[in-house]
Amino acid sequence: MNQREYRDRQQFESEARQQLSELRIVRQSTPESGFQYGYLARLIDDRELALIEDAAVRAATRAAHRQVYWKSLRLLRRDVNRMMVNRRKLMDARQEWRFESLVSDTARVWRLIWTLRIAGVAHGAHVPLLVAQAGEACTELRRLMSVTSAPAIHAA
């Protein structure tokens, strides 16, 4: 890649990031807002990108979406790990072990995260078949994390 191509690519990426920030896909959340990752399915849904006429800007925006998606998925996994550890600590402190619900919720949460991972891989391969499943996974994770994420679980 020569200097001019590199500069053009940097300019396209800059324009794509500007457009992404103007879409306000990622909102600042408050601790009371609960689930913070509802935008994940939107990041791999390319229907909005069809409105961008310039193919280079569209590709750069798609690449920026992909980067944000994978970073957000890593953060979601981190938050789920913390939540589950805190939940076990809380159960231990209260001596109220509910193994069935703990195992069931853990398995369900990780299945949903793997659904999001597979949807991200499919998006990278330009196979938009799993966008609906990613949206359903986000909805289910929101429900599960609000049920299992009482403030005591996060603060334990």
How many domains does the chain fold into?
1
pLDDT tens, position by position, 90-116: 888 888 888 888 888 889 999 999 999
Q: Is residue 21 pLDDT above 70, yes or no?
A: no
Q: In terms of residue numbers, what domain contains 54?
A: 3-26+35-155
| Average pLDDT score over the chain | 79
| High-pLDDT (> 70) share of the chain, % | 78
pLDDT tens, position by position, 29-71: 444 445 677 788 888 888 888 888 888 888 888 888 889 999 9
CA nearest 120: which of 80, 61, 83, 71? 71
